[in-house]
Amino acid sequence: MKSLSSEHAPTAPVIAATAASLPEQADALARARAFAEPLLSSAELDTGENVLAHADAVARILHSIGGSQAMQAACYLVYTCDHLNKPHEVIAKAFGSNFADLAMETTKLVRVQRMARIAQQSASHAATPIPMAQTAAAQTESVRKMLLAFSRDLRVVMLRLASRLQTLRHFAATKLVLPPGLASESLQVFAPLANRLGIWEIKWEIEDLSFRFLEPDTYRHVARLLDEKRVEREAHVEKLRLQLAHDLSQQGIHATVQGRPKHIYSIVKKMRGKSLGFDQVYDIRALRIVVPTVPDCYAALGWVHDHFTPVPDEFDDYIARPKANGYQSLHTVVRDATGQPIEVQVRTQAMHDHAETGVAAHWAYKEAGAKGYGGSVTAAGEYDAKIAVLRQLLAWERDLSGAQEGSQQDRVSFDDRIYVLTPNAAIVELPQGATAVDFAYSVHTTLGHRCRGARVDGVMVPLNTPLKNGQTVEVSTVKEGGPSRDWLNPELGFLVSHRARAKVRAWFNALAMGETVAKGREAVEKLLQREGKTAVKLDDLASQLGFNSADDLFEVVGKDEFSLRNIELLLRPPEPAAAQDDYLPLKKPRATGGKGGVLVVGVDSLMTQLAKCCKPAPPDAICGFVTRGKGVSVHRADCSNLRNMVTRSGDRVIEVEWGGKTGGDGSVYPVDVAVEANDRQGLLRDISEVFAKEKMNVIGVQTQSIRGIAWMTFTVEVSDSGRLNRVLGIVADLNGVRAARRR
């Protein structure tokens, strides 16, 4: 919509544009466009608009609101990122790291918002509708990403607002159908942001264009009503403007009187919010009075009320009670001699400048360098300027959380999150109720571990004090140390963040693990000293036992999950038996004649030996064979060697049996166990651990690996072969084991 009095249209925001974070380079704008043109001239956005044409339009919008040439140049570089293999490296080399950082940050934000819109579109077209809470959550996440992106580089907001406005203009000019989600996102996210930061021209246009796509019939109806008496209305307002300017001058009040542009969306909002008809909306006719001082504001207001009829309950003093974004003005509605209502705003020039530029002027700290805007801002002033913008962003987030209070469908809720500021004015996102300790862990793990005190907005507070939106938090630390166990006590309220809790638990777990490893190391080193093997490399020893590192070995030894006997066997392998020795004597002395061990039926005090070939153990079925000079050889009844000997000398077979107290006196018998498995790291360790946990001593190990298959033979001591079957079942269940059986 055009201004009622075009000669008095509001001036564009003037944003400082001197050298600094985006350094002014010779012909930066022309160079950036030349750099981008080959990449963008034939490319299209997902909206169908030519990318180079879009970038040209964005640059013009930035120029119209006072953006520097460096800022306009950046808008071209943003769109080249998708067409370069290493965008940051290439742009930094050609234009500097500041341009590259800004382009990459903006590109990331564009992608996040595109994904959020796609999620919402999928939800709206799904066969089974996705709950509205989830689609609102997607939009919420998009806004959060915007908020955090802006905190890292506030220039991003300039580029995003200008780009979104151009997208809406493109669809309005081409009369194409706007993609779903773009209009609602523009109205609910981008317009409130522009409003919060005071970029009024962009705010009004985004609102009107978004509303035009969301409710085209209503938009056309109100536009037609406005147009019907536009000439008559503008002539009437111009007459009042001239009269006010003359009369105020006669009263000694130097004033500039302007007409104000009308915006369809604001008219509709007022009609709906107050249940008014079109003719009852007062600010369809509106004037603005700009005076030098605050006393002049009230003097001008008094004169207006004296010469026109004030409308009851339509006066707001935003000078005494400024709006949250710092806006100040006097608003009143009066009726002229014909009874027509007209809204009048009264403000000083400084208030008007702020109303037009808002806090947008504050990102001059990014563009103005050490001199600040106008060359008068100190380093402290730069910090204060940035804080002002960030606090407005936080206020914008709160605006969004309550803007759609009555509409569950469109509501964006931030109730579960807060945003606080670091001393360097960076935004940190935390869960609701978070404390300074949560804040410290969010910034850096080491900062959290060493946190001992906190200042919130310059005041010392207990570490378990819940933080609030927009507070500035400063943490004091010690040079060394770790967290307190009290921090994990939920009743004390030191930690709310799950991430921070996990970091504290990890610290204490690592501390306990260190003690366990130290205990295991001590035990292994003592064993090596006893065995005279102190020259053995610990990592090599661990590798031979199937561990990745010495610390892994120390850990299981320290937990008593790995027997030191396994290390002894590795260091002292059993001596091989003589080739002619076919028999393996019992480890413990055996009694004869019914006292224990093996009994030879019908013969007293006859020497017996257990055959090495089959290694019998109670309660195996056994059979004796009388040897030449070594007494009776005792075999398992199913032994293949026994069958061969019986075939040759059947008359030497003799009946034997286990003694009645076999095993009860602590006797143990060596048996062989064969294991076939897929070879892998730690296989020997895992099998050895099974025998150790089952209290079976391993006295010998032989291994061989062929084409990835491990063939292993363990010699273990048992008192009862029946129990061995259960242990072999456990071994067979280990990862990679194909078979485990007794030989």
Domain residues of the chain, as ranges?
6-364, 417-479, 506-571, 583-658, 669-742
Nearest to 551 by CA among 566, 541, 564: 541
* Residue found under tokens 């001992």: 452
- Burial of residue 398 (CB within 10 Å: 0-12, 13-18, 19+) is middle
Report the pLDDT averaged over residues 361-368.
41
Integer Cα distance of 472 and 467 in angstroms: 9
How many CA atoms lie within 13 Å of 286's alpha carbon, on the beta-carbon side? 18
- Contacts of 106 by beta carbon, 8 Å cutoff, 6+ apart: 74, 78, 149, 156, 159, 160
Per-residue model confidence (pLDDT) at position 645? 84
CATH architecture, domain defined by 6-364: Orthogonal Bundle (1.10)
Is the pLDDT at 375 greater than 60? The verdict is no
CA distances from 646 to 579, 634, 653, 718 (A): 22, 13, 7, 28
Per-residue model confidence (pLDDT) at position 385? 53
Per-residue model confidence (pLDDT) at position 24? 53
Is the pLDDT at 54 greater than 90? The verdict is yes
* H-only helix segments in 326-378: 349-357, 364-368
Torsions phi, psi for 606 (to 5 deg):
-95, 135
Per-residue model confidence (pLDDT) at position 390? 58
Nearest to 442 by CA among 451, 108, 395: 451
Which range has the worst mean pLDDT, 23-27, 38-42, 424-428, 463-467? 23-27
Given a contact cutoff of 8 angstroms between Cβ atoms, the answer to whether 450 and 456 are in contact is: no
Which range has the worst mean pLDDT, 94-103, 578-587, 648-657, 731-740? 578-587
Is the pLDDT at 577 greater than 50? The verdict is no
- Contacts of 136 by beta carbon, 8 Å cutoff, 6+ apart: 409, 410, 411, 412, 413
DSSP state of 44: B
* Residue found under tokens 């942001």: 193
Is the pLDDT at 598 greater than 90? The verdict is no
Residue 168 pLDDT class (50, 70, 90 cuts): very high
User: With DSSP H G I counted as helix, E B as strand and the rest as coil, what are the percentages for the chain, rounded to 5?
Assistant: 50, 15, 35
Residue 150 pLDDT class (50, 70, 90 cuts): low
Is the pLDDT at 374 greater than 50? The verdict is no
Integer Cα distance of 352 and 347 in angstroms: 6
Is the pLDDT at 437 greater than 90? The verdict is yes
Per-residue model confidence (pLDDT) at position 66? 73
Residue type, 385: A
Per-residue model confidence (pLDDT) at position 574? 52
CATH topology of domain 669-742: Alpha-Beta Plaits (3.30.70)
Residue 244 pLDDT class (50, 70, 90 cuts): confident
Given a contact cutoff of 8 angstroms between Cβ atoms, the answer to whether 187 and 410 are in contact is: no
Taking only the tens place, the pLDDT of each residue in 327-341 is: 789 999 888 877 778
Residue 658 pLDDT class (50, 70, 90 cuts): confident
For the domain covering 417-479, report its CATH number. 3.10.20.30
* Cis? peptide before 216, omega within 30° of 0: no
Residue 707: which region, alpha, beta or left (left: phi > 0; alpha: psi -120 to 50)?
left
Report the pLDDT averaged over residues 606-621.
83
Same CATH topology for 6-364 and 669-742: the answer is no
Per-residue model confidence (pLDDT) at position 571? 76
% of residues, the chain, pLDDT over 70: 73
Per-residue model confidence (pLDDT) at position 462? 93
Is the pLDDT at 235 greater than 90? The verdict is no
Nearest to 412 by CA among 178, 144, 113: 144
Is the pLDDT at 735 greater than 80? The verdict is yes
Is the pLDDT at 366 greater than 50? The verdict is no
- Burial of residue 158 (CB within 10 Å: 0-12, 13-18, 19+) is buried
Per-residue model confidence (pLDDT) at position 14? 28
* Cis? peptide before 23, omega within 30° of 0: no
Per-residue model confidence (pLDDT) at position 409? 38
Given a contact cutoff of 8 angstroms between Cβ atoms, the answer to whether 427 and 419 are in contact is: yes
Angle at 481 between CA 477 and CA 482, to 5 degrees: 95
Per-residue model confidence (pLDDT) at position 404? 41
Integer Cα distance of 406 and 508 in angstroms: 47
Q: Which residue has the higher pLDDT, 596 or 610?
A: 610
Per-residue model confidence (pLDDT) at position 395? 60
Report the pLDDT averaged over residues 145-165.
70
Nearest to 596 by CA among 497, 669, 523, 699: 669
Per-residue model confidence (pLDDT) at position 583? 43
Per-residue model confidence (pLDDT) at position 53? 93
Residue 124 pLDDT class (50, 70, 90 cuts): low
**Cut 0.85: pTM above it:** no
Q: Which residue has the higher pLDDT, 113 or 627?
A: 627
Which range has the worst mean pLDDT, 334-343, 526-535, 577-586? 577-586
Residue 605 pLDDT class (50, 70, 90 cuts): low
Given a contact cutoff of 8 angstroms between Cβ atoms, the answer to whether 194 and 202 are in contact is: yes
Rounded to the nearest 10 degrees, the angle between the axes of helix 683-693 and helix 564-571 is 120
Residue 396's CB is within 10 A of a number of other CB atoms, namely 24
Query: Strand (E) positions, 301-457?
Result: 309-310, 316-317, 330-335, 341-348, 417-421, 427-431, 451-456
Residue 172: its H or E element = helix 155-174
Per-residue model confidence (pLDDT) at position 585? 44
Per-residue model confidence (pLDDT) at position 371? 34
Residue 170 pLDDT class (50, 70, 90 cuts): very high
Nearest to 587 by CA among 574, 599, 600: 574
Q: Which residue has the higher pLDDT, 454 or 719?
A: 454
The sign of the torsion formed by the CA atoms of 471, 472, 478, 479 equals: positive
Residue 466 pLDDT class (50, 70, 90 cuts): very high
Is the pLDDT at 594 greater than 50? The verdict is no
Per-residue model confidence (pLDDT) at position 438? 93
Residue 600's CB is within 10 A of a number of other CB atoms, namely 21
Report the pLDDT averaged over residues 204-224.
86
**Which of 51-55, 235-239, 313-317, 484-488 tops mean pLDDT?**
51-55
Integer Cα distance of 613 and 465 in angstroms: 76
Taking only the tens place, the pLDDT of each residue in 56-97 is: 999 998 888 777 788 888 889 988 988 888 888 999 998 888
Q: Which residue has the higher pLDDT, 445 or 150?
A: 445
- Alpha-carbon Rg for the chain in angstroms: 43
Which range has the worst mean pLDDT, 294-308, 369-383, 671-685? 369-383
Nearest to 254 by CA among 299, 308, 285: 299
Strand partners, 473: 456
Residue 166 pLDDT class (50, 70, 90 cuts): very high
Is the pLDDT at 471 greater than 60? The verdict is yes
Report the pLDDT averaged over residues 254-269.
77
Query: Strand (E) positions, 527-628?
Result: 583-584, 598-600, 608-611, 622-626
Residue 524 pLDDT class (50, 70, 90 cuts): confident
Per-residue model confidence (pLDDT) at position 4? 32
**Which of 83-97, 265-279, 621-635, 694-708 tops mean pLDDT?**
83-97
Taking only the tens place, the pLDDT of each residue in 396-405 is: 555 555 544 4
Residue 475 pLDDT class (50, 70, 90 cuts): very high
Given a contact cutoff of 8 angstroms between Cβ atoms, the answer to whether 616 and 634 are in contact is: yes
Given a contact cutoff of 8 angstroms between Cβ atoms, the answer to whether 685 and 710 are in contact is: no
